[in-house]
């Protein structure tokens, strides 16, 4: 049946998923982080495994349990995520980068806990590598999927990222909406593909959206 076809349509494919937020240490007890919970990426990893794919999930710190049948690599920083992703990339058929990667990290990590003083404290941050941009440069057979979490001009920014990072498609979401994006079970997305076609979707559970995103991945893989 067609349902059996969808449920196994990723057999033989290796899907690399990144999820959660990276954290960037400041001293032994503090870090800079973001509000990503990892739910979107974990839902994608779980559904891809259910559809028969070999799944590797590179995850930032999260309270979520390892999805069934998925190889999970836990990392903390953007640079650790980059190492793990680059090692798995050559053998991957598709990469889905749902992680919220820190764009900056503290220039230096203090060896001892930073003590407060009467003065203000200024942090010096330096740029982290853009992992997805690097994958876009290295890309051969791999299908590349990015996410764009925006608080305004969602479609415009997402289209720019799609082009700049050489993606097959991008999942755009407006994180300024209370029911979509970081920290909630639901999301409202727009998919934009290489040809420029934009498809909006209504508010859905992250599980349902995982299915939609993987349907598109399967479609591109077939081409």
As annotated, the active-site residues are: 34
**Residue 73: what are its φ and ψ, rounded to 5°?**
-115, 115
Q: Select 9 or 94, whichever has its Cβ closest to ligand CTP.
A: 94
Asked if residue 152 lies in contact with residue 135, where contact means CB atoms within 8 angstroms, the answer is no
Residue 209 buriedness (CB in 10 A; 0-12 / 13-18 / 19+): buried
Q: Taking the complex as a whole, how short is the minimal distance between the CB of residue 50 and ligand CTP, in angstroms? A: 23
78 interacts with ligand CTP by CB under 6 A: yes
103 interacts with Ca ion by CB under 5 A: yes
At which residue do the structure tokens 């690097």 appear? 134
Q: For strands 189-193 and 169-174, give the pairing.
A: antiparallel
Kind plus residue range of the DSSP H or E element containing 16: strand 14-19
Q: Taking the complex as a whole, how short is the minimal distance between the CB of residue 147 and ligand CTP, in angstroms? A: 4
Q: Taking the complex as a whole, how short is the minimal distance between the CB of residue 149 and Ca ion, in angstroms? A: 8
Q: Taking the complex as a whole, how short is the minimal distance between the CB of residue 52 and ligand CTP, in angstroms? A: 24
Q: Select 9 or 98, whichever has its Cβ closest to ligand CTP.
A: 98
Say how far apart CA 43 and CA 50 lie, in whole Å. Answer: 11
Which of 43, 55, 84, 101 touches ligand CTP by CB under 6 A? 101
Convert 28-67 to b/e letters by CB count within 10 Å (16 or more is b): eeebbbbebbbbbbbbbbbbbbbbebbbbbbbbebebeeb
Q: Taking the complex as a whole, how short is the minimal distance between the CB of residue 166 and ligand CTP, in angstroms? A: 12
Known binding residues:
103, 113, 129-132, 147, 161, 165
Considering CB distances under 5 to 8 angstroms, the limit depending on partner class, which of ligand CTP, Ca ion, none binds residue 147? ligand CTP
Binding-site string for ligand CTP from residue 141 to residue 170, where x marks contact by CB under 6 A and - marks none:
-----xxxx-----------x---------
Considering CB distances under 5 to 8 angstroms, the limit depending on partner class, which of Ca ion, ligand CTP, none binds residue 210? none
37 interacts with ligand CTP by CB under 6 A: no
> Which listed range, 104-112, 123-131, 191-199, 206-214, lies at the site for ligand CTP (CB under 6 A)?
123-131
In whole angstroms, what separates CA 198 from the centre of its chain?
20
**Residue 191: what are its φ and ψ, rounded to 5°?**
-100, 130
Considering CB distances under 5 to 8 angstroms, the limit depending on partner class, which of Ca ion, ligand CTP, none binds residue 95? none
At which residue do the structure tokens 């240490």 appear? 25
In whole angstroms, what separates CA 145 from the centre of its chain?
9
Q: Look up residue 10 and give its two tokens.
A: 């990723």
List interacting residues with ligand CTP (CB under 6 A). Answer: 78, 97, 99, 101, 103, 128, 130-132, 146-149, 161
List interacting residues with Ca ion (CB under 5 A). Answer: 103
């Amino acid at each position: 049946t067609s349902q059996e076809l969808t449920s196994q349509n990723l057999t033989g494919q290796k899907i690399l998923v990144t999820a959660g937020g990276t954290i960037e240490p400041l001293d032994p007890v503090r870090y800079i982080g973001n509000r990503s919970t990892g739910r979107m990426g974990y839902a994608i990893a779980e559904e891809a495994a259910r559809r028969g794919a070999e799944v590797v999930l590179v995850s930032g710190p999260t309270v979520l349990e390892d999805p069934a049948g998925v190889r999970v690599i836990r990392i903390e920083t953007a640079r650790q995520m980059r190492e793990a992703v680059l090692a798995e990339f050559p053998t991957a058929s598709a990469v889905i980068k749902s992680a919220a990667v820190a764009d900056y990290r503290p220039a230096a990590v203090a060896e001892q806990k930073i003590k407060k003083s009467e003065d203000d404290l200024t942090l010096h941050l330096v740029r982290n590598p853009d992992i997805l941009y690097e994958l876009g440069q290295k890309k051969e057979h791999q299908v590349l999927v990015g996410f764009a979490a925006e608080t305004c001009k969602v479609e415009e920014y997402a289209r720019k990222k799609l082009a700049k990072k050489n993606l097959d498609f991008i999942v755009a979401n407006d994180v300024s909406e209370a029911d979509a994006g970081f920290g909630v079970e639901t999301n409202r997305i727009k998919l934009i593909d290489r040809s420029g076609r934009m498809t909006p979707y209504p508010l859905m559970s992250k599980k349902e959206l995982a299915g939609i995103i993987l349907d598109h991945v399967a479609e591109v893989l077939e081409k």
